[in-house]
Amino acid sequence: MGGPLLTAAVVALALVLVLLAPRVLPSWTALRRMPGPGLLLWQSISVAGALCALLAAPTAVLTTGLSQPLLLGLALVVSGVMLVRLLTAGHRVGTDLRRRRAQHRELIDLVGDHLDDTLARDAAGIARPDVTVLALGNPSAYCLPGRGNRIILTRAALDRLGTVELRAVLAHEQGHLDARHDLLLELFTVLHEAVPSGLRVPAALTEVQLLTEALADRIAEQRTGHTDLARALVAMAPAATPEITARVRLLSRPPAPRHTRIGVTLLAAGVLALPVATTVTLLTLSW
């Protein structure tokens, strides 16, 4: 591939993956039935887009030099903007997230109570010492990852949940912790905010968050059962929000066929291979 053509292809690919794909992919709702491969595809597209943007300038310098000043200038702008915004977003999101978690953890330690041992048990009957109950607040449950992973429930949630539904909720939150969904969402948030505000797609981040919840639901379903989890979701929701409705519907449907999950996984690997192939090409040209 000629130098200008390779540079133009890398720039175009970066723009497609960073700006176009997040606008199209949320409409592929079939991914919700395979949240693991779906999240892998989202992650591959996001990372590949950022890498292609960062590779635009090196590609232009090594393949075109000063012979294509307009293309070189465009590539430098794409790479420069992405680099600066990635570093800025990474620092801001990471610092703010850890600060807020530390403050929240301190507050939980002050006002929270440990869940009674007879209730804080998983599906296997093993006691869970890391469940904290808050006296105030609407019915809710969430996990607090990081140092001393813990699960937080409100007293209102306990009042609405039976024993089996409570275990389903605990299994869902433990699924988030075991799979380190906090790191996954942090990565997506950084990549989302690395895009200039006027070009961001809020629906993309919302869809990723829904896929994360759907994946934790699948984990909890294996540990408890989809009926108990669905009842818990309905009991916890003050109203039928779009997310809760979507999650309950997903629990009533079987996962996507195995060949479809494999196909999406291979697609994700293919997308991620694009910046790798570009890097190999650049290394070959530089030798």
Q: Which residues have CB under 8 Å from 268's CB, separation 6+?
A: 37, 40, 41, 43, 44, 45
**What would the mean pLDDT of 84-111 be, rounded to a whole number?**
92
pLDDT band at 75 (very low <50, low <70, confident <90, very high): very high
DSSP per-residue string spanning 96-156: HHHHHHHHHHHHHHHH-EEPPTTTSB-TT--B-TTEEEESSSSS-EEEE-STT-EEEEEHH
Per DSSP (E only), the strands in the chain are: 113-114, 131-134, 141-144, 150-154
Q: Taking Cα atoms as reference points, which of 25, 37, 45 lies closest to residue 256?
A: 37
Report residue 112's pLDDT band, with 50, 70 and 90 as the boundaries.
confident
**179-208, pLDDT tens digit by residue?**
999 999 999 999 999 999 889 999 999 999
pLDDT on residue 95? 95
Query: Sheet containing 131-134: which strands, arranged edge to edge?
Result: 113-114, 131-134, 150-154, 141-144
Residue 116 — very low, low, confident or very high, per pLDDT cuts 50/70/90? low
128-164 burial, b at 16+ Cβ within 10 Å, e below that, comes to bebbbbbeeeebebebbbeeebbbbbbebbbebbeee
Model confidence band, residue 124 (pLDDT cutoffs 50, 70, 90):
very low
Given a cut of 90, is residue 226 above it in pLDDT?
no
Quick check: 168 pLDDT over 60? yes
Q: Select from 73, 83, 59, 69 the least CA-distant residue to 9.
A: 59
- Predicted local distance difference test score (pLDDT) of residue 239: 66
- The answer on pLDDT for 267 being more than 90 is yes
Q: Is the pLDDT of residue 287 over 80?
A: no
Name the band, by pLDDT with cuts 50, 70 and 90, for residue 128: low
pLDDT in the model for residue 237: 79
More confident residue, 173 or 123: 173
Which two tokens mark 256?
């996507």
| Predicted structure pTM score | 0.89
Residue 131 near residue 121, CB atoms below 8 Å:
no
pLDDT digits (tens, 9 = 90+) for 56-74: 999 888 888 778 889 999 9
Tell how strand 150-154 and strand 131-134 pair up. parallel
Quote the pLDDT of residue 129: 54
Q: What angle do CA 191, 193, 195 make, to 5 degrees?
A: 80
pLDDT score at 2:
63
